[in-house]
Amino acid sequence: MLRIKGKDREKGREGDQITFTFNGLSYQGLAGEPIAAALLANGVRTLRHHEKSGKPRGIYCGIGHCYECRVTVDGVPGVRACLTPLKEGMEVMSERAGEVTSNEN
Amino acid sequence: MKTDVAIVGAGPAGLSAALYLARRGLGVVVLDEYFRAGGRLAGQLYENPKKPPGQRLWDGKAIAEKLSGDVKKAGATILTGVSVWEIAPGSGVFISGGPCQKIAAKAVLIATGAAERAMPVEGWTIPGVMSAGAAQVFANVHGVLPGRKVVMAGIDPLSITVAGELKKAGVEVVGIFLPPPGILAGSSGLPQWVIGELSRSADMAPGTFLKMAGKLFGGSYREVGARLCSLAPANIWGIPLHLRKAVIRVEGEEQVDSVLTARISHDGKIEQEDCRIEADAVCLSGGLYPLTDLIAAAGCPLVSMPGLGGMVPLHGPLLQTQSKGVFLAGSVTGIEGAPVAIAQGHLAGVSIAAFLGRLGKGNRHELDRAVEMVGQAREESPLKFYPGADGARKELAALWDRWKINSAGGNYA
Amino acid sequence: MPDDKLIVCRCEEVTLDEIKKAVKDGASTVSGIKKRTRACMGMCQGRVCQSLVKKVLAHESGNQADSIETATSRSPVRPIQLGEII
Ligand SMILES: Cc1cc2nc3c(=O)[nH]c(=O)nc-3n(C[C@H](O)[C@H](O)[C@H](O)COP(=O)(O)OP(=O)(O)OC[C@H]3O[C@@H](n4cnc5c(N)ncnc54)[C@H](O)[C@@H]3O)c2cc1C
Ligand code: FES
């Protein structure tokens, strides 16, 4: 486990242990922590594959700037996993090509 | 949604402005795209040696929680998870992810903070490679480590701080290395330059950890020279700091499994491939720059100020900009630490109240006091991200004066 | 140095070599690089790679990185869902 143990870190935790899925597999996480943190704590680093090259990608900036961590959450595409709090029963999917929110106008 | 002041960014700058304005009875809406208020305060935990004993601990997370609690108590609204994608000077801001599409406001404060400069290495898109700031947030805020065995590339105050924090949290930090030499790393790939920068900012840096680094490199030229000649790493809290070795490639298929290092000559050239180091995470650090996208899109001119971290929006001493009713505060005006951002936020609050005619006649001195407080925060600041910030601030003030004289825009303050 | 393989723009996977080539082909501004290579045109809108692109421009043209104009940021500065503006 990559979670930090110890009392002083405990207060940084958001809450109860909950269950969510990523690409159909079931994982445990803490309610309210970012989806990306829950996945990293489970050892999951690849969040999507690049639309063009198919190369694996994971968190890079951690604070919403780079959009590398975008996933589809409960059917909504283009969600940044580093910014989005985890909820019980969330269905998280790797972004598939064609579902990407475009910023070109 | 309609209010008096829309504030973009719930970091220390935005929150302290909100606190002042809400207490003055103005309507305030604070918007932040992160899911929690506090901005970069949340990752910060250090001791300020410049403060009297007993007041030294800087617990960013606690400060952020108190500040945002106070802001709400004072009557301001904080909307998190909401991105601002355009400022309409004079009429408000456009948002995405919120309860509506526009916040109509008489004044706008841009407190969007800073972002990290990228430091690319071959293989940096492999999962497990992340910015130093990302590692800081995951470890200090979310309580999840970036990996078990971590390599840092890029030697600067942020990467050294993060390396120390990770080690304390139980990570094996294999070493802090130079970035790969080349045009992208530029001078930050040169051993001599890195030592110079470190010794100039480290005596001001937070915590014993960086102070030790400062002592290490702040010595005589002969010592620095000796350090340069030596291929043996410096040792900080058991973390090897390699001034003559660079990470030149990250390897791994689905995720990081190793990095390749090389020996670097005094003038920053690859001498020889060195070795392959096993690691499951790599943190890259290239320094910080002001996040000016919103303010630039609103037509505010940017000025190049290396001492402040790059391009900064032209602004006046009361944090006003060339767009009427648009104000700035915090790291967006130049990279400095959180105490400066708090003081600037307060100043922006007073300045906006004055702009809206809500300061009250006898209260002009509040503006002067707020300006003084920014200066004081700067002096007491434990962390200098870029040597040369003071000179850059002066230059910026002179540019503003010149603009005011050359234009009809002198209707401020 | 295997410059050619080094990705500068992560979003659009544009390499250092491609950016250097764009400069040789006449690009002298960030906007010029954008048009030729798509660097800075992905989801992050240049927040990660724009400072890198400027460094390449500066290096290849012999100017100071800071004297290269920042590609004017355009609204929206964040990707938005279509439904949010219509
Ligand atoms: C990775 C990193 C690490 C740092 N570490 C330290 C440290 O250890 N010690 C230290 O003193 N300083 C550190 N700093 C410097 C930091 O900038 C200041 O300490 C301080 O937090 C600046 O306050 P601020 O309010 O200006 O900006 P921030 O605290 O950065 O807050 C800005 C807020 O604006 C939000 N925002 C930006 N754009 C938008 C938009 N378009 N729409 C909605 N919201 C938006 C962001 O989500 C963020 O919450 C660090 C900065 C970074 C980037
Ligand atoms: S990791 Fe960069 S946006 Fe989420």
Q: How far is the CA of B119 from the centre of ligand 1 (A)?
A: 19
Q: Which residues contact B203 (CB under 8 A, 6 or more apart)?
A: B211, B214, B218
Mean pLDDT of chain C: 80
Residues of chain A with pLDDT > 70: what percent? 80
Per residue in B401-410, pLDDT (tens digit) is 998 888 765 4
Model pTM score: 0.86
Structure-model confidence comparison of residues B407 and B273, the more confident one = B273
The confidence band for B260, taking pLDDT boundaries of 50, 70 and 90, is: very high
Distances (CA, A) of B86 to B7, B8, C3, C78: 13, 10, 37, 9
What pLDDT sits at residue C85?
A: 47
**In this structure, is residue A7 part of a structural domain?**
no
The minimal CB distance from B122 to the residues C2, C13, C80 is found for C2
**In this structure, is residue A56 part of a structural domain?**
yes
What pLDDT sits at residue B158?
A: 87
Per residue in A5-35, pLDDT (tens digit) is 754 444 445 578 999 999 999 999 999 999 9
Backbone phi, psi, residue B398, to 5°: -65, -40
The confidence band for B154, taking pLDDT boundaries of 50, 70 and 90, is: very high
The minimal CB distance from C44 to the residues A65, A78, A101 is found for A65
What gap in Å lies between CA B187 and CA B194, rounded to an integer? Answer: 8
C59 exposure class (CB count in 10 Å sphere: 0-12, 13-18, 19+): middle
Q: Which has the minimum average pLDDT: A33-47, B100-114, B203-217?
A: B203-217
Peptide bond before residue C76 is cis, with ω within 30 degrees of 0: yes
Q: For residue C77, which residues of chain B lie inside 8 Å, CB to CB?
A: 84-86, 293-294, 297
What pLDDT sits at residue B354?
A: 96
What pLDDT sits at residue C65?
A: 61
Q: At what angle do helices B12-23 and B338-355 cross, to 10 degrees?
A: 40
CA-based nearest distance C3→chain B, Å: 9
Most confident of B4-18, B188-202, C68-82: B4-18
With contact defined as 3+ CB pairs under 8 Å, the chains touching B are A, C
What pLDDT sits at residue B197?
A: 77
Question: Quick check: A48 contacting C, CB < 8 Å?
Answer: no
Q: How many domains would you assign to chain A?
A: 1
Which atom of ligand 1 is least distant from the CA of B288?
A: 53
Q: Which residues contact B75 (CB under 8 A, 6 or more apart)?
A: B22, B28
What pLDDT sits at residue A11?
A: 47
The confidence band for B80, taking pLDDT boundaries of 50, 70 and 90, is: very high
Nearest to A53 by CA among B238, C12, C31, B406: C12
The confidence band for B195, taking pLDDT boundaries of 50, 70 and 90, is: confident
Q: For B305, which residue in chain C has the nearest alpha carbon?
A: C66
**In this structure, is residue A2 part of a structural domain?**
no
Q: Which has the minimum average pLDDT: A8-22, B73-87, B109-123, B163-177?
A: A8-22
What pLDDT sits at residue A56?
A: 96
Nearest to B325 by CA among B2, B30, B31, B104: B104
What pLDDT sits at residue C66?
A: 56
* B267 has pLDDT over 90: no
Question: Quick check: A78 contacting C, CB < 8 Å?
Answer: yes
What pLDDT sits at residue A9?
A: 44
| Termini Cα distance of chain B | 29
* B412 has pLDDT over 80: no
What gap in Å lies between CA B329 and CA B315, rounded to an integer? Answer: 10
Q: How far is the CA of A58 from the centre of ligand 2 (A)?
A: 8
CB B352, CB B17: distance < 8 Å: yes
Q: What is the CATH number of the domain that holds A60?
A: 3.10.20.440
CA-based nearest distance A92→chain B, Å: 18
Topology (CATH level 3) of domain C1-65: Arc Repressor Mutant, subunit A (1.10.10)
Which residue segments constitute the domains of chain B, with CATH numbers given? 2-115+288-406 (3.50.50.60), 118-284 (3.50.50.60)
Per residue in B210-247, pLDDT (tens digit) is 555 666 665 555 556 656 667 778 888 789 999 899 99
What pLDDT sits at residue B407?
A: 77
Q: How far is the CA of A73 from the centre of ligand 2 (A)?
A: 15
DSSP state of C49: T
Structure-model confidence comparison of residues A43 and A65, the more confident one = A43
* A98 has pLDDT over 50: no
The confidence band for B131, taking pLDDT boundaries of 50, 70 and 90, is: very high
Residue written as token pair 């694996």: A56
Backbone phi, psi, residue B106, to 5°: -80, -30
Q: How far is the CA of B294 from the centre of ligand 1 (A)?
A: 15
B144:A3 CB<8 A: yes
Q: Which has the minimum average pLDDT: B104-108, B175-179, B182-186?
A: B182-186
- CB count, 10 Å around CB of A76? 12
What pLDDT sits at residue A102?
A: 41
What pLDDT sits at residue C81?
A: 55
- CB count, 10 Å around CB of B357? 7
* B52 has pLDDT over 60: yes
Q: Which has the minimum average pLDDT: A44-48, B143-147, B352-356, C55-59?
A: C55-59
Question: Quick check: B33 contacting C, CB < 8 Å?
Answer: yes
What pLDDT sits at residue B413?
A: 40
Q: Which DSSP helix (H) or strand (E) runs through A39?
A: helix A35-41
**In this structure, is residue A5 part of a structural domain?**
no
Q: How far is the CA of B353 from the centre of ligand 2 (A)?
A: 36
What pLDDT sits at residue B232?
A: 77
Q: Which has the minimum average pLDDT: B187-201, B293-307, B388-402, C69-83?
A: C69-83
Residue written as token pair 């932040």: B32
- CB count, 10 Å around CB of A25? 10
With contact defined as 3+ CB pairs under 8 Å, the chains touching A are B, C
* B23 has pLDDT over 60: yes
A102:C79 CB<8 A: yes
Most confident of B327-331, C28-32, C43-47: B327-331
Residues of chain B with pLDDT > 90: what percent? 62
**In this structure, is residue A80 part of a structural domain?**
yes
Strands B2-8 and B28-32: parallel
B130:A50 CB<8 A: no
Compute CA B140 distance to the chain's CA centroid, rounded to the nearest angstrom.
16
If one residue of A68, A71, A95, A103 were mutated to test the ligand 2 pocket, choosing by the most ligand atoms within 8 A of its CB, it would be A68
Ligand in closest contact with the CA of B29: 1
What gap in Å lies between CA B377 and CA B339, rounded to an integer? Answer: 6
The minimal CB distance from B297 to the residues C5, C10, C75 is found for C75
Mean pLDDT of chain A: 85
Query: Which structural domain range is residue A65 located in?
Result: 15-93
What pLDDT sits at residue B227?
A: 63
